[in-house]
Amino acid sequence: MKDLISIIDVKNYVGKEVKIGAWLADKSGKGKLQFLQLRDGTAFFQAVVFKPNMIEKFGEEAGTAKFEEIKHLSQETSVYVTGTIKEDSRSKFGYEMDVTDLEVIGESVEYPITPKDHGTDFLMDHRHLWLRSKRQMAIMQIRNAIIYASYDFFAKNGFIKFDSPILSGNAAENTTDLFETDYFGNPAFLSQSGQLYLEAGAMALGRVFDFGPVFRAEKSKTRRHLTEFWMMDAEYPFVSHDESLDIQEAYVKAMIQGVLDNASYALDVLERDTAALQKYVDTPFKRVPYDEVIDILQAHEGEEGADYEHLEHGDDFGSPHETWISNFYGVPTFVCNYPASFKAFYMKPVPGNPERVLCADLLAPEGYGEIIGGSERETDYEKLLEKVKEQGLAVEDYDWYLDLRKYGSVPHAGFGLGLERMVTFVAGTEHIREAIPFPRMLHRIKP
Ligand code: ATP
Ligand code: AMO
């Protein structure tokens, strides 16, 4: 509607009378005063209704009736509120409104989510309403700032947006967590990653990126796993593994800076340590070979906080190892050159050490664990064919992918970043379920 302003912008209207479209998040008051907590998706703030002002404006009878109506408004009633903006140093937000008029748009029946504590299952069952809370609004604003910073980074660095398909005839990552569907009588799979298609894109268009939903039938109930999540995938030709890490580091820093610059209100709501975030932007990320990480894990085993299982060289990390490593370094850390034995078929071996591959996982600090997986890709047709066979994949499913190595194969690398893991880390929240509007997990597909 014309002439409405957003709550986040009220700082520009001090001393002026403005109109806001909002919902009533909470209300309190006594005697001649009512305090309304209003929200409009941009921010929350307080509007004050003073009965004598209502009477002065509307007359004794109508003014009293208006004040009584306001006093009895229920939570989540939608309203147009008109009033004068003033600075208020007592509130954290810094501004409030002296109400001169209020018009109800839509009434609200008894609202299930009251400003008291509810259990996680209850909140998840009411996700469509839970999203209206201040905390969820802040997390979604951070998600949005990350997405915009992402597009900005790719645009400024010469990447073309290249859309990979969601329905696919082959696995991209592994064959164990595929969602299968019926495609006119034949099996098809929901995409686990757009990577293989992006490699075709890179050979056609140069630097490419893709942002879309991916699906993994993860039977895990960790705080880091969803079955449907959004992945930022990028692929670039003529780039080595080390240069690829430079790109990833610059990308992650650009996203964090984008949130610091454009979502400061949300960070404030979540009480996120912004000095720590700024440090991650200003400090070089660490790059540590997998084998060195194993040595460090072994050396610290049994110490306080290091109660993870013993690992030998060649073993994969479990969640407790990842959490510990990610705390240990204090800044985002690339763990490089993992064993080929548990990594995907398309990764290129380390020259002179075929048991290790030119890959890296980026672990976020503060115990957040892996946020990016990336690698340099095998470019040789025969070696790639051998890997496909070795991992028990059907060669005929990958003929198109193998073709990419027949017609002008070049060194190339790329990575995939799980958006919701990035959001959880930057927002400083506990569980990945809050990082996406409607989370899909092992036991959750509704609402
Ligand atoms: P993620 O690994 O997080 O699923 P990814 O696709 O890179 O992403 P892997 O590299 O196979 O997966 O696993 C990395 C880490 O993810 C593991 O070390 C572990 O921390 C965690 N993880 C993966 N699957 C499970 C599971 N089913 N249960 C608990 N943790 C898991
Ligand atoms: P990978 O399998 O490591 O790599 O996945 C990339 C990133 O996706 C995120 N992620 C998840 N997020 C939420 N829920 C899950 N179940 C989940 N699984 C993974 C993580 C992870 O780092 N094709 C490669 C990328 C590439 O090399 O280009 C790939 O998919 O943040």
Which part of the chain is CATH 3.30.930.10?
127-435
pTM: 0.93
Whether the Cβ atoms of residue 364 and residue 334 lie closer than 8 Å to each other: no
CATH 2.40.50.140 maps onto the chain at: 7-106
Residues 6+ apart with CB under 8 A from 371: 252, 332, 362, 363, 364, 417, 418, 421, 422, 425
Note the ligand closest to the C-alpha atom of 173: 2
Q: Which of 421, 422, 432, 444 to mutate to test ligand 2, by most ligand atoms within 8 A of the CB atom?
A: 421
Q: Is 247 in the pocket of ligand 2 (CB under 6 A)?
A: no
- Whether the ipTM is more than 0.90: the answer is no
**Ligand 2 pocket mutation pick from 189, 191, 193 by most atoms within 8 angstroms of CB:** 193
Of the listed ligands, the closest to the CA of 364 is 2
Closest ligand 1 atom, CA of 224? 3
Neighbours of 400 (CB within 10 A): 13
- Cα angle 372, 377, 383 (rounded to 5 degrees) comes to 140
Among protein residues, the one with the nearest Cα to ligand 1's atom 16 is 319
Q: Could you tell me if residue 439 is left (phi over 0), alpha (psi between -120 and 50 degrees) or otherwise beta? A: beta
Whole-number Å distance, alpha carbon 225 to ligand 1 midpoint, is: 8
State which ligand 1 atom lies nearest to the alpha carbon of 317.
Answer: 18
In which region does residue 10 sit, left (phi positive, over 0), alpha (psi from -120 to 50) or beta (all else)?
A: alpha
Q: Which two tokens stand for residue 103?
A: 């018009």
Q: Which CATH number fits domain 7-106: 3.30.420.10, 2.40.50.140, 1.10.3210.10, 3.20.20.140?
A: 2.40.50.140
Cα angle 340, 346, 347 (rounded to 5 degrees) comes to 45
Q: How far does the centroid of ligand 2 lie from the alpha carbon of residue 227, in Å?
A: 11
Nearest CA to ligand 1 atom 24: 220
SS3 379: coil
* Percent of residues, the chain, with pLDDT higher than 70: 100
The count of other CB atoms within 10 Å of the CB of residue 186 is 7
Architecture per CATH, domain 127-435, reads as: 2-Layer Sandwich (3.30)
Phi, psi angle pair for 86, to nearest 5°:
-135, 155
Q: Which atom of ligand 1 is nearest to the CA of 318?
A: 18
Calculated CA dihedral for residues 114, 119, 122, 128, nearest 10 degrees: 60
pLDDT string in tens for the chain (447-residue length)? 558 999 999 999 999 999 999 999 999 998 999 999 999 999 999 999 999 999 999 999 999 999 999 999 999 999 999 999 999 998 889 999 999 999 999 999 999 998 788 999 999 999 999 999 999 999 999 999 999 999 999 999 999 999 999 999 888 888 889 999 999 999 999 999 999 999 999 999 999 999 999 999 999 888 999 999 999 999 999 999 999 999 999 999 999 999 999 999 999 999 999 999 999 999 999 999 999 999 999 999 999 999 999 999 999 999 999 999 999 999 999 999 999 999 999 999 999 999 999 999 999 999 999 999 999 999 999 999 999 999 999 999 999 999 999 999 999 999 999 999 999 999 999 999 999 999 999 999 999
Q: What's the one-letter identity of residue 154?
A: F
Pocket test for ligand 2, best of 216, 230, 423 (most atoms within 8 A of CB): 216
CA–CA distance from 240 to each of 214, 345, 378, 409 (Å)? 26, 18, 11, 14
Exposed/middle/buried for 193, CB within 10 Å: 0-12, 13-18, 19+? buried
Nearest residue by C-alpha to atom 26 in ligand 1: 220
